Chains A and B, each alone.
Chain A
């Protein structure tokens, strides 16, 4: 069994933290170590057998910490934290943060009391909503009073909901004991660099100790605070996820260093996200023509960092008031106005539990189906790897019509298994109606690196165009489990290549759509 972090790498860490970290790291060992092609996200395979029980217990229903869970469980964010203490070049505060929320739309800011009400309403409507996060629209810990009052209120009315927060880390070190007190056991820190020379190109300024710091000084303080905060989280037994924005030409290669630095300090999961950058977002990067990465550039960097750490590839870079499964946003159903119309909201803990037991049974069934298919894979010999795009509404099944898909989930399939490696959003292009040529071209560009696309249903016209582009449209597995179907397709694909019926060709690159959900 591989060890996530070598003990020698702990030598750079303060001694008092080191001992506690060793214990936490020991707990992390073995998480997600299935398959020969390296780790997939923690919990993406069977689950409990893959990791220490106490870690599994923390992540199994958390859509952001477990790739497997994100097909079944939903999260919500409440926008109670508008203030921020740093400026990032990919963020324009006039329009919220472009990388964390939909640009161009200012979120409805909530008071902690309104937020608690919203959580009750959502939890009653969406029983698979298991996680409440505070992610802004500014920085959760730059608004500590609002953030912790919200947690306090929610933990009283909805004790089964997991609490988490996301922060830039500047204010984190002193607040770790508070975070622990409120039983927040998931914290995300956005770390884009560990070298101030890189950092000064990303952060124009920070506000720290009653002073605005600029340039390299600002970046130096920020990186020190972030890493110290991470060490303290690890020693407190709080799971830490690291978000990094991949900015080609600025920190793309450097993120390998960031990955090593956070891994050695006990981070549980690393999430490298593509820069979202368009002139109309009004960000420094957008206005200066800084581009985001292509799909294959992003995947190559994630693969390079994967070695022995869990990489998150299912992040949807959702807005600070998002509601629902990661691929959807139901926030429009729960506006402040609608919440205030309701007088009394009933919180039915038992109904939620019953629903979640059904979800668990489905998950077990899905895993069994996959294991059965994998057992048959043992007889297949091939070096081939293909990508498959999947139209899904969630639940781990192929259950979405091609024309209705707002995103495609991407699986890499080989004899080692079917692994979730990302997703491609296509929603904006569908607004003009389905079957339109331009919309179809943009979908093809988004999944151009895939050999096949799995759908529940597809019309004749797009079918022909996909075939012409070299992508196999497949509706034979409609409503079946994704992984099981992908493995079955792969076996058939290899057999057809061997028989000479078709020739395996390497696919090209694909485009990452700019901008966030327009759901």
Chain B
């Protein structure tokens, strides 16, 4: 029950970081990563995972 960011596709635009309701996203080695321990896939919080909804590159924020 967690999302991940495909590093090779991440543009490091940082859009996902502030929209995550669980503060699970941080920058590492130039790109952004999701801490699977904190990620809830936004279930019970929003209709859709916020990182995937705001990410400019399709299929980059995806289920692990």
A28-58 vs B, CB cutoff 8 Å, 1 = contact: the mask equals 0000000000000000000000000000000
| A-B residue pairs in contact (CB < 8 Å), sample of 23 | A82-B11, A82-B12, A82-B14, A83-B13, A84-B13, A84-B15, A87-B56, A93-B11, A93-B56, A94-B11, A94-B57, A106-B11, A109-B12, A143-B14, A145-B18, A207-B15, A207-B54, A210-B46, A210-B47, A210-B50, A211-B53, A212-B53, A212-B54
The answer, yes or no, to whether B48 is at the interface (CB within 8 Å) is yes
Task: Say how far B55's CB is from chain A's closest CB, in angstroms.
Answer: 9
Within 8 A of A (CB), among B9-64: 11-15, 18-19, 46-48, 50, 53-54, 56-57
Task: Say how far A115's CB is from chain B's closest CB, in angstroms.
Answer: 15
Residues in A whose Cβ lies below 8 Å from that of B50 = 210
Task: Say how far B44's CB is from chain A's closest CB, in angstroms.
Answer: 13
Task: Say how far B28's CB is from chain A's closest CB, in angstroms.
Answer: 16
Q: Top 4 A-B pairs ranked by shortest CB distance?
A: A83-B15, A93-B56, A212-B53, A82-B13
- With both beta carbons as reference points, the residue of chain B lying nearest to A213 in the complex is identified as B53
- With both beta carbons as reference points, the residue of chain B lying nearest to A91 in the complex is identified as B56
Q: Which of B47, B48, B56 contacts A84 (CB 8 A)?
A: B56
Task: Say how far B41's CB is from chain A's closest CB, in angstroms.
Answer: 14
Chain A residues touching B, range: 10 to 19
Residues in A whose Cβ lies below 8 Å from that of B57 = 93-94
Task: Say how far A430's CB is from chain B's closest CB, in angstroms.
Answer: 31
- With both beta carbons as reference points, the residue of chain B lying nearest to A145 in the complex is identified as B18
Residues in B whose Cβ lies below 8 Å from that of A84 = 13, 15, 56
Task: Say how far A170's CB is from chain B's closest CB, in angstroms.
Answer: 12
Task: Say how far A144's CB is from chain B's closest CB, in angstroms.
Answer: 9
A83 B53 Cβ-Cβ under 8 A: no
Residues in B whose Cβ lies below 8 Å from that of A82 = 11-15
Task: Say how far A282's CB is from chain B's closest CB, in angstroms.
Answer: 11
Residues in A whose Cβ lies below 8 Å from that of B56 = 84, 87, 93
Residues in A whose Cβ lies below 8 Å from that of B54 = 83, 85, 207, 212
Task: Say how far A96's CB is from chain B's closest CB, in angstroms.
Answer: 9
* Complex Cα–Cα for A59 and B11 (A): 36
Task: Say how far B57's CB is from chain A's closest CB, in angstroms.
Answer: 7
